[in-house]
Structure 1
Amino acid sequence: MTALTPLMARVLHACGAAVRPEGVAVLGSYAGNLMMWLTAAGFGPFRQYAGQLAVGVDVDEEAVLLARANFSMAGYQNMQFRTNDAFSTAGSLMVGAVDALLIDIDDPVERKGGYLSLLQTWLPYLSPGALVIAHDVVHPRFAESLKGYLDFVSGPPFVASTTLPVDECGVAVSALGTSA
């Protein structure tokens, strides 16, 4: 099950089209629904620029296989999908810097509580000015566990952060400083 409303799809597409990331990492990519919209402008069949590498990471092997098939059928290029734990593979999956990072993990125990430690793990691999997007930040079920994450992205090394309650789940969109 994945939650993606038409408005959220538009927001993710707009983020990708505006930032034009060459390197994208999606942590908790599942079947790739959110990733498809974020990467469409640079990796999709009607791309507006040439994205270099987008990597989807998920612990669910069946979901990773489904994502591979989905993106292949849709005509996306330079996409990789890995069955890995995003905490232990930080940086080892990317050839270059990560210009856009999308976090949407859902641990059976912590649920969304791992967002902050995951971001801190991947922070050294983010390019200056990178965009970080966190899904599900306004969902009432996860509000308490995401407080630390939202506090972290509201200060340095981030220069801007906003929460967009575009649907029941919402996203936080944060920009890393250029001298991080």
Structure 2
Amino acid sequence: MDSLSSGPVAEVLRRLHQEAEAADAALMQSLASETSSVEQAMRQVVEAEAKDLTGLYHGYADNFLSVSPTFGRFLYMCARSCKARRIVEFGSSMGISAIYMAAALRDMGGGRLIGTDLEPSKAERARANVTAAGLGDLVEFRVGDARQTLQSDMGGDVDMVMLDGAFTLYLPILKLLEPYLKPGAIIIGENAFAQAGGYIQYVRDYQNGYLSLPLSFDPERGNELTVRTK
């Protein structure tokens, strides 16, 4: 069973990817004109986070900043491969990646996805999009600083984590979730560049209980696949 191929999930995702492309076109063009690479653009974002993290992401309230269809399918496949029952997402934006992962939960018989976003308007739109895809009963969105909203109430062990929020918070959020991670849990860091708060160094050190590699099918974006080993 694969709900990405047809039906409400496929239709909603098709619409949302078109909306995302239109909404983010000007921003992507601006970043491309100002920088010579994706990594350089992300470095600028990291520097801006250090100055005013809340203000920076408030300025992106109307931008999707979402995963690509290819990466979305990768998330779906990861969730199915680890037979996830509980997934946590840091930085849900308009809910596109949440739909991919929640679709995997639905296709495996159910589960729970806990999503987060700093912007209330984004969380509201994400809820509407997830509901339109017929997945609303599987997803909870928590609004506010994830360092507070993810401190408790996970509801049990976590099988998969998607990190796609403020780059400099990847490591603090991962450490916050560590007590809940099952051995074999999958962690995916979107745009997890080495300079963003020490995340890459941490997950690539086996002594911390992880094995980790860059994703070769999308190397320029700095995406990282990590597995919990203890």
Normalized against structure 1, the TM-score is what? Answer: 0.82
| Offset from partner CA, 1:28-69 (integer Å, 9 cap, x none) | 1111112222332113xxx1x123211101111011111111
- C-alpha distance in 1, partners of 2:101/2:213? 17
Distance 1:31 1:165, change over 3 A: farther
Q: In structure 2, what residue type is equivalent to 1:115?
A: Y
- C-alpha distance in 1, partners of 2:114/2:161? 10
Q: In structure 1, what residue type is equivalent to 2:172?
A: S
Shift in Å at residue 159 of structure 1? 4.0
- Root-mean-square deviation (CA), in Å? 1.8
SS in 1 for 2:196: coil
| Offset from partner CA, 1:3-34 (integer Å, 9 cap, x none) | 42222122112111211210111011111112
SS in 2 for 1:15: helix
Distance 1:170 1:14, change over 3 A: farther
- Residue 101 of structure 1 pairs with residue 158 of structure 2: no
Q: In structure 1, what residue type is equivalent to 2:160?
A: A
Answer whether contact 1:64 1:83 (CA < 8 A) is retained.
yes
Aligned counterpart in structure 2 of residue 71 of structure 1, from 127, 130, 135 = 130
| Offset from partner CA, 1:119-173 (integer Å, 9 cap, x none) | 1121112122211111112xxxx54225x11111112343421111434424211
Shift in Å at residue 100 of structure 1? 0.7
* Identity level (%): 30
Normalized against structure 2, the TM-score is what? Answer: 0.65
Q: In structure 1, what residue type is equivalent to 2:221?
A: C
Shift in Å at residue 95 of structure 1? 1.2
Answer whether contact 1:27 1:103 (CA < 8 A) is retained.
yes
Aligned counterpart in structure 2 of residue 38 of structure 1, from 95, 98, 101 = 101
- C-alpha distance in 2, partners of 1:134/1:51? 24
Query: Partner of 2:195 in structure 1?
Result: 144
SS in 2 for 1:100: strand
SS in 2 for 1:156: helix
Shift in Å at residue 86 of structure 1? 1.1
Indicate the structure with greater strand content: 1
Distance 1:61 1:85, change over 3 A: same
SS in 1 for 2:104: helix
- C-alpha distance in 2, partners of 1:171/1:163? 6
- Residue 125 of structure 1 pairs with residue 188 of structure 2: no
Answer whether contact 2:211 2:227 (CA < 8 A) is retained.
yes
- Residue 175 of structure 1 pairs with residue 227 of structure 2: yes
Query: Partner of 2:217 in structure 1?
Result: 166
Matched pairs, number: 164
SS in 2 for 1:87: helix
Bigger Rg, which one: 2
**Please, which runs of 5 or more residues in structure 1 have no aligned partner?**
107-111
| Offset from partner CA, 1:55-86 (integer Å, 9 cap, x none) | 10111101111111111110113211111321
Shift in Å at residue 91 of structure 1? 4.5
